[in-house]
Structure 1
Amino acid sequence: MAAAAATFATGATAGGHGIDLTGKTVEWVIPFSETGGSAKWANFYAPLLSEALPGQPTVVVKFMPGAGSTKGANWFQEQTYEDTQGTLIFGSSGSTQFPYLLGDPRVRYEYNDWNVVLASGTGGVAYLPPDLAAKMDGLDASGLRDTDFIYGSQGATRLDLVPLLAWEMLGLNVEPVFGIKGRGDGRLMFERGEANIDYQTSSSYLKGVTPLVEDGSAVPMMSWGALDADGNIVRDPTFPDMPTFKEVCEATDGCETSGDQWEAWKAFFVAGFPAQKMVFLPAGASNDAIVSYTKAFEEVKARADFAEISAKRLGKYPQMTGDEAAAALASATQVPDSAKAFVVNWLQERYGVSLN
């Protein structure tokens, strides 16, 4: 009876949640600048999460850019739940996952130590200035091969390897300018004329690039696509009228959708986008805290207006909690050895990046 009473008391805390955050401030650390897709994702969720968490704490998004997100991730690895008591969460992205997958020596974080409470799928869109977009013949990108492209990049071992490898497969001459702190900074380079090709994840594209398309200063080239139930690449549900990279590749002479290069690209696309952004509690988080945050995100997803407001800000992608989030984490932090070997060799040969 005593055990049952204790269990009931715990479950009854703060309206059925396991922890009470009344009067507290939750820091949501984003390891990028405030201009990119991760910022827009966190800023969308923060007020909704505040309403849903037990005690309705203030949720503050804090930006910690540097080293393509490894700076912030390494910092989070050093934090423990014992010190924060549920007042610290971390938002990772594909640019955090890829250095981990590739064995980047700067990585000192371990995903298996963290506790996932939300996984958000997303997509990505590549776009061009109108004069260069006019060189494409329908879906055929071969007309772009005589152009010298400049691209603002966070780094070749980050999520940027997906567009960089895709453009190379199309035979484009794209020279990355490494070192930007977030994809939003790449968009600003494009707007200033310092770059003439760019890509953004869906949330940043919807917010920051759609106005450029509407005023005629940018033209979408392709999306990366999405996965159907059988693992095939299909059109992105947020951009159903936009061709996928697979379609553009099939229409462009010399670009193959089979073989080692394609399989490597697809493996890292799968690792980087279907579970592109995730929310974690730090090492040692109590079950009560994990349950509280999971329930809070589930309550957010259950809002009557969630589908409408999330589609406008994030796009139409799965927002996963519980077992689904755990499965998404597993798929996002594993790639076949053959794909990893191909990319590691490509990074060395193409960019002089050694991960040994």
Structure 2
Amino acid sequence: MTVSNFTRRATMALIAAAGFAAPAAADVDLAGKTVEWVIPFSETGGSAKWANFFAPLLSEELPGNPTVVVKFMPGAGSTKGANWFQNQTKGDGTLLFGSSGSTQFPYLLGDPRVRYEYNDWNAVMASGTGGVAYLNADDGAKFDGSANGLKDIDFIYGSQGATRLDLVPLLAWQMLGMNVEPVFGIKGRGDGRLMFERGEATIDYQTSSGYLGGSAELVANGDAVAMMSWGALDADGNIVRDPTFPEIPTFKEVCEATDGCETSGEAWDAWKAFFVAGFPVQKLAFLPAGTDQDIVNTYTTAFEAVVARADFPKISSKRVGKYLVFTGASAQTALGTATNVPDEAKAYVTTWLKDAYGVELK
């Protein structure tokens, strides 16, 4: 499958998935219980803000109104937590796991640290997100909508790892001809923002929830300059402006304005394929393998009720952004888009990782 056909088919799959109806909920009662929602990142990042946004809403809609507590298990770019979840058998509805693109990409690339299988888990909710890259104030003054004035600057970036979701910004910056040196090993994107705030990093990117929850204030105060978003997909699979950040140009726009950056060819196709895999279905909530179907249906119905709230569009746009939310069977279908990329895109990224960072996946 070519990358362009993959993008169109992925977009069509997401649109179709959004129309799936939730199944009927069974007679499940979680009264007096505590649901642990485990996030495999630190408490400062976008996944934390995403889970903390949904947790109290989920509590209101689950039968018996259990307490939903978000817990954090950072390490190894989220593979530590995902490997742990793979071995969990607590299928009574009191354990939920949240993953992100940084969990998907190692799986897609065959990272040897991956000991988890997405197809074993029960996806009950999935939501898209976007991302925004931004510069410090001094360097941002040289940004004119292109990266032409940034190519002689040596940037520092706090990164979770080149095989994580960070490969999307790292490859984008390289395509723009920028010199960005990643400092690997942070436990979440929120830690990257803290590095930026302390002056230890000079460029950063956050997913939408992380940007809305922290970085947007830096930009508003003049301490940072928004450079670009990754964009969103229209019905034909084209990259358009992110609906949450319509005032910020997309990477595609910045690339088109930058000397030497191309929006066609192997690099662009690979970047777009991983963008599609990593962002339109970026954060997912799972119940463990072996969970009774009645409990899966109960969670599906609860998340469907959250999304159906009259105030959901307003409150979600401020906290996690304006993106599709998938539930139940539609979440499982959307997961298929998030865990597939064309072989040629994988081959390009695998070679790039080795050449740029000495990362070999065996």
The TM-score bracket by the shorter chain reads over 0.9
For residues 86-138 of structure 1, give each alpha carbon's deviation from its aligned partner in whole angstroms, at most 9, with x where no partner exists: 1001000000000000000000000000000000100000000121112123x
Verify the 8 A CA contact 1:18 1:291 in the aligned structure 2.
no
Counterpart among 52, 58, 79 of residue 88 in structure 2: 79
Matches within 5 A, 1:1-356: 17-80=26-89, 83-137=90-144, 139-356=145-362
Q: Distance in 2 between matches of 1:85 and 1:67?
A: 28
One-letter code aligned to 2:235: A
Q: Which has the larger radius of gyration?
A: 1
Q: Structure 2 stretches of 5 or more lacking a match? A: 1-23
Q: Distance in 1 between matches of 2:197 and 2:163?
A: 25
TM-score normalized by the length of structure 2: 0.92
SS of the aligned residue for 2:36 comes to strand
> C-alpha displacement at 1:328, in angstroms?
1.1
> C-alpha displacement at 1:228, in angstroms?
0.4
> C-alpha displacement at 1:323, in angstroms?
3.1
Q: Show structure 1 runs of 4+ deviating over 2 A.
A: 15-18
Verify the 8 A CA contact 2:124 2:329 in the aligned structure 1.
no
Verify the 8 A CA contact 1:126 1:220 in the aligned structure 2.
yes
Q: Structure 1 stretches of 5 or more lacking a match? A: 1-14
Q: Does 1 or 2 have the higher relative contact order (CA < 8 Å, sep 6+)?
A: 2
Verify the 8 A CA contact 1:17 1:54 in the aligned structure 2.
no
Verify the 8 A CA contact 2:91 2:290 in the aligned structure 1.
no
For residues 302-322 of structure 1, give each alpha carbon's deviation from its aligned partner in whole angstroms, at most 9, with x where no partner exists: 111111100000010001113
> C-alpha displacement at 1:17, in angstroms?
3.5
Deviating more after overlay: 32-41 vs 318-327: 318-327
SS of the aligned residue for 1:176 comes to strand
Number of aligned residue pairs: give it: 339
Verify the 8 A CA contact 1:50 1:59 in the aligned structure 2.
yes
Verify the 8 A CA contact 2:269 2:345 in the aligned structure 1.
yes
Q: Distance in 1 between matches of 2:192 and 2:27?
A: 42
For residues 139-192 of structure 1, give each alpha carbon's deviation from its aligned partner in whole angstroms, at most 9, with x where no partner exists: 221110100000000000000000000000000000000000000000000000
TM-score normalized by the length of structure 1: 0.94
> C-alpha displacement at 1:16, in angstroms?
5.2
* Identity value in percent: 77
SS of the aligned residue for 2:244 comes to coil
Q: Distance in 2 between matches of 1:49 and 1:140?
A: 42
One-letter code aligned to 1:244: T
One-letter code aligned to 2:178: L
Verify the 8 A CA contact 2:25 2:294 in the aligned structure 1.
no
Verify the 8 A CA contact 2:233 2:240 in the aligned structure 1.
yes
SS of the aligned residue for 1:128 comes to strand
Verify the 8 A CA contact 2:40 2:99 in the aligned structure 1.
yes
